[in-house]
């Protein structure tokens, strides 16, 4: 029964043309913005080529800043479009165990986002390997080429895929809670982007650190750090834990709302 | 009669335009959700502004007297240079040629001079930093300038050394001259320095302002300053009347690198430092109280998009186009309505944010003398407040037109937020050059409309790197481009 439910949700997701486009957008924007950001940073901007202390892995993975917005759209739509078209009444008539429906949706959207994210991350790391040496990040200056054989780089890359998946589930939870596409997307993007900007704009060090530790996007992206870990407001795994906590809360609230409310 | 017919047609056209406007306005205000969202935009904007102001602080005012001294009027000034001088009294004339000027590295090898490196003549109250003075200097980058008491500037020619310079004192008035050959003189300007006593110190000065060092480390860009040194050769020095013949060299202010040598009437003087009024750290106190607009922009974007996509979703757009078949006019009318509402929201939100935020910022250290007190009586504050309203109005129009293009709320909202908010975030992590270009190439640059301080690459905030006008142009270009495309698509596509 549960497997059939996942298959049903998977079919719904797969057969909507926007899914393929958005998955492509996730992968492409990860690579494109990552390559642009990498290309714009050069060791000549540092006091000397060996004193950059640049986190090249994190730099190459900058693209998720943009691609997560496509993830938000994709994941929100899996829930809100059914509410928008009233399809949700049919779905719940066929499958009265509503939380199971939301969970099936979560599973199928996670698969799509993780796959698209993995393609994007692979592309970004490959782009980084090509671009970085040309900008002075060479072995002579102390920068090994990006490689998954390097433990922290592997953690950062796999962590980025995990980050995108958690963002998808966060969007899905908020979507189930708000039910309206425009409202849900606006709220999710606000939660992700605005708190991060606030962390930069607030120059009081205590508040800035609090915002970086407890805002979903900066905390979750701590997973991308491979060097200078002592300078982080929150360490990689606790950081993504903070995001996971927000995601868990949003999904729980979404499931509860779907269960309690009329459709 | 043709005239009355065309008159009637025009009047009818005008009446129809008015009806379309009223219809679109009714569509807007009769949706409680949108009206509430716009009210929420005001509240969220000023709440965010106030929160951000509360979390901002500076110790500039306590650090200021470590680097600056009180000037003649008590305000902080930088007054440091190497002064080769002797006492003199009464009316006098000092003349010299600055034969050459070069830069020095910190280990004394030759270097390119700073554009603002000074070599010239000065009449000064005393050798104490911050005392009254008048000076004429030649610089490699800015030509000849006459200045006094850290303020008044007369600009002379744009020539660099070699250059003959002369200062003449008559009572409280000091006149500066320059010449290419020492015979034909032209007046640079006159300046009154009543603070100068009868007995003054007069002589030659050499200084070189701090250089700016922009460095990237640990994935972010930091801006620092470094002292620079310049050396100049003077000859044909004459002081009339009352030459004693003894020249003394002193470092004025905080520097300790200056020195001079004299051989057969030729002086080689090495100095560092600058003579300038304190210019502030560059933080824009007005912009700091309007930070909340990042929330306002997001809310206005959502409403602007929904104003169109709701009609598509419910098929209402077909009714709209049946009633007024000129689709371009419907789009223009919608743009006017949403721009007007967003402008009003922006104006109210900016006024409240500014009035609530300024006292908090002053409390947190953004106060005189390091920061000017800003109030609604300054026209430039009104420019920033109106600029904020224009920002919201243009973002609303951009959202509306992108919504017409995509016809979907999800993609339109995401596109506008990715274009207007994300570049701000990305800019913080990029080096100054690419961050500035990101602002010039995306509508996020529109946030520069909220700034009143000159653009600078010395702050981490990417918006600080471009001028308000540049921001307006890029935002306007995006809004206009989106609306032209939207208008074209409206006429081509089925509704």
Q: Is B422 within 8 Å of chain A by CB?
A: yes
**pLDDT tens digits, residue range B98-145?**
888 888 877 777 777 888 888 899 999 888 888 889 899 988 888 888
* The total number of structural domains that make up chain B: 2
Least confidently predicted of B135-149, B255-269, B367-381: B255-269
Closest to B305 (Cα-Cα) out of A118, A121, A257, A181 = A181
- Domain contains B481: yes
Residue B156 CA to residue B377 CA, distance in Å, equals: 35
Domain with A100 in it: 2-260
Share of chain B above pLDDT 90, in %: 32
The average pLDDT across A158-165 equals: 97
Chain B from 14 to 33: CB within 8 A of any A CB: none
The answer to whether residues B225 and B213 touch, using CB atoms and an 8 Å cutoff, is yes
- Domain contains B1: no
**Which has more confidence, B180 or A47?**
B180
Q: What's the CATH number where B104 sits?
A: 2.60.120
> Inter-chain contact B460–A73, Cβ cutoff 8 Å?
no
- Classify B165 as helix, strand or coil: strand
Distance from CA of A134 to the nearest CA of B (A): 17
Residue A188 CA to residue A174 CA, distance in Å, equals: 7
A54: its two tokens: 């640049």
Q: Do residue B140 and residue B219 come from a single domain?
A: yes
Structure confidence at residue B106 (pLDDT): 73
Instruction: Categorise residue A134: left if φ over 0, alpha if ψ from -120 to 50, beta otherwise.
Output: alpha
Q: Do residue B307 and residue B408 come from a single domain?
A: yes
B43: its two tokens: 């509240």
* The total number of structural domains that make up chain A: 1
Closest to B406 (Cα-Cα) out of B327, B289, B312, B321 = B312
The average pLDDT across B321-350 equals: 92
The answer to whether residues B448 and B466 touch, using CB atoms and an 8 Å cutoff, is yes
Residue A144: other Cβ atoms inside 10 A: 12
Residue B53 CA to residue B48 CA, distance in Å, equals: 8
Q: Do residue B333 and residue B423 come from a single domain?
A: yes
Q: Do residue B376 and residue B410 come from a single domain?
A: yes
- Domain contains B416: yes
The average pLDDT across A63-86 equals: 92
Q: Is B424 within 8 Å of chain A by CB?
A: yes
B5, with CB counted inside 10 A (0-12, 13-18, 19+), is exposed
Question: B222 has which bridge partners?
Answer: B215
Nearest CA in chain B to A217: B425
A22 Cα distance to chain centroid: 14
At residue B108's C-alpha, the angle toward residues B105 and B110, to 5°, is 65
DSSP H stretches of helix in B75-128: none
Report the run of H or E that residue B240 belongs to, with start and end: strand B229-240
Q: Is B216 within 8 Å of chain A by CB?
A: yes
Counting DSSP H helices and E strands in chain A, the numbers are 12, 0
DSSP H stretches of helix in A41-150: 56-60, 64-84, 87-94, 98-134
Structure confidence at residue B486 (pLDDT): 95
- Domain contains B111: yes
Q: Is B219 within 8 Å of chain A by CB?
A: yes
The answer to whether residues B136 and B178 touch, using CB atoms and an 8 Å cutoff, is yes
Q: Do residue B204 and residue B325 come from a single domain?
A: no
3-state helix, strand, coil in chain A (%, to 5): 80, 0, 20
Phi/psi for B327 (5° steps) reads -65, -35
Nearest CA in chain A to B463: A201
Contacts of A73 in chain B (CB under 8 A): 410-411, 414
Structure confidence at residue B150 (pLDDT): 83
> Inter-chain contact B431–A186, Cβ cutoff 8 Å?
no
Question: B89 has which bridge partners?
Answer: B199
Residue B230 CA to residue B258 CA, distance in Å, equals: 9
Mutate to test the interface with A, among B222, B290, B413 (most CBs of A within 10 A): B413
Structure confidence at residue B62 (pLDDT): 78
The answer to whether residues B113 and B104 touch, using CB atoms and an 8 Å cutoff, is no
Specify the residue for token string 């998946």: A165
Q: Do residue B93 and residue B237 come from a single domain?
A: yes
**Which has more confidence, B350 or A6?**
B350
Residue A143 CA to residue B215 CA, distance in Å, equals: 19
The average pLDDT across B73-77 equals: 81
> Inter-chain contact A84–B313, Cβ cutoff 8 Å?
yes
A with B: how many residue pairs have Cβ under 8 Å apart?
122
Domain with B140 in it: 69-277
> Inter-chain contact B421–A70, Cβ cutoff 8 Å?
no
- Classify B395 as helix, strand or coil: helix
Closest to A162 (Cα-Cα) out of A214, A224, A209 = A224
The average pLDDT across B13-27 equals: 83
Q: What is the DSSP letter of B372?
A: -
Q: pLDDT averaged over chain B? A: 86
Q: Do residue B385 and residue B446 come from a single domain?
A: yes
Distance from CA of A262 to the nearest CA of B (A): 21
Q: Do residue B82 and residue B214 come from a single domain?
A: yes
A251: its two tokens: 């999904």
At residue B61's C-alpha, the angle toward residues B57 and B253, to 5°, is 145
Specify the residue for token string 């901002």: B56
The answer to whether residues B92 and B203 touch, using CB atoms and an 8 Å cutoff, is no
Residue B51: other Cβ atoms inside 10 A: 17
Residue B337 CA to residue B304 CA, distance in Å, equals: 10
Residue B150 CA to residue B130 CA, distance in Å, equals: 9
> What CA–CA distances, in Å, run from A191 to A169, A184, A185, A216?
14, 11, 10, 7
**Chain length of chain B:** 495
> Inter-chain contact B313–A201, Cβ cutoff 8 Å?
no
Q: b/e string for B21-40 if b means 16 or more Cβ within 10 A?
A: bebbbebbeeeeebeebbee
Residue B312 CA to residue B308 CA, distance in Å, equals: 7
Structure confidence at residue B58 (pLDDT): 80
- Classify B60 as helix, strand or coil: helix
Q: Is the pLDDT assigned to residue B1 strictly greater than 60? A: no
Q: Is the pLDDT assigned to residue B153 strictly greater than 80? A: no
Specify the residue for token string 């070189």: B208
The answer to whether residues B65 and B76 touch, using CB atoms and an 8 Å cutoff, is yes
The average pLDDT across A168-174 equals: 97
A262: its two tokens: 């009329």
Distance from CA of B254 to the nearest CA of A (A): 26
Q: Do residue B346 and residue B486 come from a single domain?
A: yes
> Inter-chain contact B430–A40, Cβ cutoff 8 Å?
yes
Report the run of H or E that residue B144 belongs to, with start and end: strand B143-148
Structure confidence at residue A74 (pLDDT): 95
Closest to B29 (Cα-Cα) out of B278, B369, B356, B337 = B337
Q: Is B227 within 8 Å of chain A by CB?
A: no
> Inter-chain contact B430–A51, Cβ cutoff 8 Å?
no
Residue B407 CA to residue B311 CA, distance in Å, equals: 9
Structure confidence at residue A189 (pLDDT): 94
Nearest CA in chain A to B425: A197
Structure confidence at residue B390 (pLDDT): 97
ipTM of the predicted assembly exceeds 0.90: no
Q: Is B460 within 8 Å of chain A by CB?
A: yes
Q: Do residue B404 and residue B343 come from a single domain?
A: yes
End-to-end CA distance of chain B: 38
* Reported confidence tier of residue B219, pLDDT bands at 50, 70, 90: low
Q: Is B294 within 8 Å of chain A by CB?
A: yes
Q: Do residue B144 and residue B273 come from a single domain?
A: yes
Q: Do residue B160 and residue B201 come from a single domain?
A: yes
Contacts of B58 in chain A (CB under 8 A): 203
Mutate to test the interface with A, among B297, B360, B410, B435 (most CBs of A within 10 A): B410
The average pLDDT across B451-473 equals: 86
Specify the residue for token string 């051989």: B263
């Amino acid at each position: 029964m549960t497997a059939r439910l996942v298959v049903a949700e998977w079919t719904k997701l797969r057969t909507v043309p926007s899914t393929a486009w958005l998955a492509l957008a996730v992968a492409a924007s990860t690579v494109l913005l990552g390559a642009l950001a990498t290309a714009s940073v050069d060791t000549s901007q540092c006091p000397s080529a060996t004193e950059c202390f640049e986190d090249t892995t994190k730099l190459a993975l900058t693209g998720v800043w943009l691609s997560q917005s496509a993830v938000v759209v994709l994941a929100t739509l899996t829930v809100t479009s059914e509410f928008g078209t009233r399809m949700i009444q049919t779905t719940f008539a066929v499958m009265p165990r509503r939380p199971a429906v939301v969970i099936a949706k979560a599973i199928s959207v996670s698969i799509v986002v993780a796959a698209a994210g993995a393609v994007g991350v692979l592309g970004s790391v490959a782009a980084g390997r090509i671009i970085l040496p040309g900008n002075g990040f060479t072995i002579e200056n102390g920068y090994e080429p990006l490689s998954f054989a390097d433990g922290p780089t592997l953690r950062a890359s796999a962590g980025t895929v995990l980050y995108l998946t958690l963002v998808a589930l966060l969007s899905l939870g908020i979507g189930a809670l708000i039910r309206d596409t425009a409202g849900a997307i606006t709220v999710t993007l606000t939660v992700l982007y605005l708190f991060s900007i606030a962390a930069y704009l607030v120059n009081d060090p205590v508040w800035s650190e609090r915002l970086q530790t407890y805002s979903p996007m900066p905390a979750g992206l701590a997973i991308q750090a491979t060097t200078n870990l002592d300078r982080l407001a929150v360490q990689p795994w606790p950081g993504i834990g903070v995001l996971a906590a927000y995601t868990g809360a949003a999904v729980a609230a979404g499931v509860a709302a779907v269960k309690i409310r009329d459709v | 009669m043709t005239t009355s017919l065309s008159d009637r047609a025009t009047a009818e056209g005008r009446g129809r335009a008015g009806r379309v406007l009223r219809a679109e306005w009714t569509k807007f205000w009769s949706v409680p959700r949108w009206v509430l969202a716009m009210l929420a935009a005001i509240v969220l904007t000023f709440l965010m502004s106030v929160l951000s102001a509360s979390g901002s602080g500076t110790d500039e005012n306590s650090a200021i007297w470590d680097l600056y001294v009180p000037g003649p009027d008590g305000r902080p000034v930088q007054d440091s240079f190497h002064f080769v001088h002797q006492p003199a009294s009464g009316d006098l004339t000092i003349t010299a040629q600055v034969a050459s000027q070069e830069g020095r590295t910190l280990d004394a090898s030759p270097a390119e001079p700073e554009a603002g490196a000074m070599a010239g003549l000065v009449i000064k109250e005393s050798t104490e930093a911050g005392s009254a003075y008048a000076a004429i200097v030649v610089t490699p980058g800015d030509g000849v300038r006459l200045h006094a008491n850290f303020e008044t500037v007369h600009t002379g020619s744009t020539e660099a050394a070699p250059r003959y310079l002369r200062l003449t004192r008559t009572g409280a008035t000091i006149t500066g001259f320059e010449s290419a050959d020492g015979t034909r003189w032209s007046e640079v300007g006159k300046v009154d320095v009543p603070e100068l006593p009868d007995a003054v110190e007069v002589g030659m000065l050499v200084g070189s302002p701090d250089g700016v060092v922009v460095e990237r480390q640990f994935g972010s860009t930091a801006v620092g300053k470094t002292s620079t040194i310049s050396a100049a050769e003077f000859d044909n020095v004459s002081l009339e009347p009352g030459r004693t013949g003894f020249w003394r060299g002193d470092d004025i202010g905080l520097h300790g690198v200056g020195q001079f040598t004299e051989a057969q009437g030729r002086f080689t003087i090495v100095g560092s430092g600058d003579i300038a009024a304190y210019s502030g750290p560059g933080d824009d106190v007005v912009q700091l109280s309007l930070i909340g607009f990042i929330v306002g922009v997001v809310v206005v974007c959502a409403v602007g998009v929904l104003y169109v996509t709701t009609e598509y979703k419910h098929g209402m757009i077909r009714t709209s186009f049946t009633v007024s078949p000129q689709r371009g006019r419907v789009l223009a009318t919608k743009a006017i309505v949403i721009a007007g509402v967003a402008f009003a929201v922006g104006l109210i939100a900016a006024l409240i944010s500014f009035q609530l935020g300024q006292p908090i910022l002053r409390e947190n250290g953004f106060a005189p003398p390091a920061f000017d007190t800003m109030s609604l009586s300054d026209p430039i504050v009104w420019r920033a407040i109106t600029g904020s309203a224009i920002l919201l109005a243009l973002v609303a129009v951009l959202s509306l037109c992108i919504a017409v293009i995509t016809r979907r709320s999800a993609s339109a909202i995401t596109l506008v937020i990715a274009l207007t908010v994300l570049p701000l975030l990305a800019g913080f992590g990029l080096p100054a050059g690419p961050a500035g270009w990101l602002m010039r190439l995306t509508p996020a640059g529109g946030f520069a409309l909220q700034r009143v301080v000159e653009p600078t690459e010395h702050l981490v905030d990417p918006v600080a790197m471009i001028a308000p006008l540049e921001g307006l142009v890029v935002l306007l270009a995006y809004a206009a481009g989106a609306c032209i495309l939207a208008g074209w698509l409206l006429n081509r596509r089925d509704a």
